[in-house]
């Protein structure tokens, strides 16, 4: 019984974790959006509009709200992927 109570999260704790996650997810979304747009502009002459940035921020916020325990590992996986791509490109 105590285990179920410890695992249950209140709406307040989810909102606090959402606000805390936005501190990391907004710069991550902006970095990925800028990086993709730089590659598109240099090599293909196009770019994504800012609505893609807003959409990715909303998706990150929804993931943080719905999966508060899993969200840090999702964000960590994104950053590990970024580091691997940088390593492949020799930066």
For residues 65 and 18, the answer to whether their CB atoms sit within 8 Å is yes
pLDDT digits (tens, 9 = 90+) for 39-78: 888 888 778 888 988 998 888 888 887 887 888 888 889 8
CA–CA separation, 88 and 37 (whole Å): 19
pTM, whole model, 2 decimals? 0.69
* Nearest Cα residue to 26 out of 68, 67, 69, 78: 78
Say if residue 15's pLDDT is above 70: yes
pLDDT value, residue 80: 92
pLDDT digits (tens, 9 = 90+) for 19-36: 888 888 888 888 888 888
């Amino acid at each position: 019984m105590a285990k179920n109570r410890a695992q249950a999260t209140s709406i307040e704790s989810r909102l606090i974790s959402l606000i805390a996650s936005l501190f990391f997810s907004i710069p991550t979304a902006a970095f990925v959006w800028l990086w993709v747009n730089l590659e598109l502009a240099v090599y293909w002459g196009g770019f994504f509009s800012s609505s893609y940035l807003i959409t990715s921020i909303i998706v990150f916020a929804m993931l943080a709200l719905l999966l508060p325990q899993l969200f840090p590992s999702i964000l960590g996986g994104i950053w590990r992927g970024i580091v691997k791509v940088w390593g492949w490109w020799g930066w």
